[in-house]
Chains A and B, each alone.
Chain A
Amino acid sequence: DAGVIQSPRHEVTEMGQEVTLRCKPISGHNSLFWYRQTMMRGLELLIYFNNNVPIDDSGMPEDRFSAKMPNASFSTLKIQPSEPRDSAVYFCASSFVRNQPQHFGDGTRLSIL
């Protein structure tokens, strides 16, 4: 039974470069969430999709961040241009509907030099 799949697992790049993180939710799940985890702030919601439509992007820190969900089985989180303060672990999670258990991927550990 495949869980939430994220790629890449690790990304190291220089500041100013474009970064694209990818997520495949669990099949049949209609809600998808992107979170960011840092030592200082813990886990914070970036954006929430319901049926592929962005519902709440109030957690997206700046215009440099964008997220898309072109279909029910794929989502991307893009940072352009990247900055060192974007370094964090980015998690994707999905649930059948919003108020059911969320299942998390293994995350992408992003380092911006």
Chain B
Amino acid sequence: KQEVTQIPAALSVPEGENLVLNCSFTDSAIYNLQWFRQDPGKGLTSLLLIQSSQREQTSGRLNASLDKSSGRSTLYIAASQPGDSATYLCAVLYSGGGADGLTFGKGTHLIIQP
């Protein structure tokens, strides 16, 4: 069974710091990996999608990397702001059988202190 793990489960840092969220997955046969943000009581907002042939994607202060062979992805947030406080979810779309939708990690709950 494919599994996605996110470390840490929770993180609290002062405003302005650069930080890294980690995601690992057990099966390297993937189409893509997607990072989402979820605010309390809200749906998921797609931040970045990395196709299996890509190594990284960037959007503003966010940079996501993918190392398919080692089963790892990182989300780098530069110059963090209080508005970045949310739960960040990593999800993998596997190309093998048995999982037609995204397989999600449990998320990293991020708090940026003003």
Contacts and interface: CB of A to CB of B under 8 A. Distances in A.
Given A102-B34, A106-B42, A107-B43, A35 B93 contact: no
Contacts of A45: 99-103
Contacts of B31: 98-99
Given A42-B106, A56-B101, A98 B93 contact: yes
Contacts of A107: 42-43
A98 B100 contact: yes
Interface residues of B, number: 25
A51 to B, nearest CB: 13
Contacts of B32: 99
A56 B46 contact: no
B89 interface: yes
Contact of A104 (B43, B103, B106): B43
Interface of B: 31-32, 34, 36, 41-46, 49, 51, 89, 91, 93, 98-107
Interface of A: 4, 33, 35, 42-45, 48, 55-56, 58-59, 91, 93, 98-107, 109
6 contacts: A33-B102, A43-B89, A56-B101, A101-B34, A102-B102, A109-B41
The 10 A-B pairs with the shortest beta carbon distances in the complex, nearest first, are A45-B101, A56-B100, A43-B104, A104-B44, A99-B31, A106-B43, A48-B100, A104-B43, A101-B49, A42-B106
